[in-house]
A = this chain, B = another copy of it.
Amino acid sequence: MARAAGVSQATVSYVLNDSPNARVSEQTRQRVREAAARLGYVPDQSARTLRTGHSGLVLVPLAPARTGRLVADLLDDMGEEFGARGYTLVQYGERRLKGVAAAKAWAALRPVAIMVDASRLTKASVELLKASGTKAVIGFSAGPSPLVPAVVLDHEVIGACAARHLLDRGCTRLGAIVPREEGIDAMGVGRWKGVRRHAPDAERIDLAFSEEEAAKVAARPDLPDGIFAYNDEYAMLLISALQDAGVRVPEDVAVMGADDLPLASLMRPRLTSVHFDTTASPGELVALVDAIVRGEREAAPGAVMKLFNGRLVVRDST
- What is A's interface to B at a CB cutoff of 8 Å? 39-40, 42-47, 49-50, 55, 62, 66, 72, 75-76, 78-80, 82-83, 88-96, 104-105, 107-110, 127-128, 131-132, 209, 211, 233, 236-237, 239-240, 243-244, 262-263, 265-268
Cβ–Cβ < 8 Å partners of A96 in chain B: 80, 83
> Is the pair B45, A47 in contact by a Cβ cutoff of 8 Å?
no
Interchain CB contact (< 8 A) of A110 among B46, B94, B107: B46
CA distance A83 to B91 in the complex (A): 14
Given known A-B contacts A40-B127, A46-B55, A108-B43, A83 and B88 have beta carbons under 8 A apart: no
Interchain CB contact (< 8 A) of A75 among B39, B93, B237: B93
What are 29 pairs between A and B in contact, CB < 8 Å?
Answer: A39-B131, A40-B127, A40-B132, A42-B132, A43-B108, A44-B50, A45-B108, A45-B110, A46-B47, A46-B49, A46-B109, A46-B110, A47-B50, A50-B50, A62-B76, A66-B72, A75-B93, A79-B94, A80-B94, A82-B93, A83-B96, A90-B91, A91-B92, A91-B93, A209-B262, A211-B266, A237-B266, A240-B267, A263-B263
Closest Cβ–Cβ distance, residue A263 to chain B (whole Å): 6
A79 to B, closest residue via Cβ: B93
Cβ–Cβ < 8 Å partners of A46 in chain B: 45-47, 49-50, 55, 109-110
CA distance A62 to B91 in the complex (A): 10
> Is the pair B93, A44 in contact by a Cβ cutoff of 8 Å?
no
CA distance A132 to B41 in the complex (A): 7
CA distance A184 to B80 in the complex (A): 22
CA distance A244 to B317 in the complex (A): 14
> Is the pair B90, A236 in contact by a Cβ cutoff of 8 Å?
no
Main SS class of interface, A: helix
> Is the pair A93, B89 in contact by a Cβ cutoff of 8 Å?
yes
> Is the pair B240, A110 in contact by a Cβ cutoff of 8 Å?
no
Closest Cβ–Cβ distance, residue A246 to chain B (whole Å): 12
Cβ–Cβ < 8 Å partners of A209 in chain B: 262
CA distance A50 to B43 in the complex (A): 12
CA distance A66 to B104 in the complex (A): 31
> Is the pair B266, A104 in contact by a Cβ cutoff of 8 Å?
no
A94 to B, closest residue via Cβ: B83
Closest Cβ–Cβ distance, residue A227 to chain B (whole Å): 16
> Is the pair B95, A80 in contact by a Cβ cutoff of 8 Å?
yes
Cβ–Cβ < 8 Å partners of A39 in chain B: 131
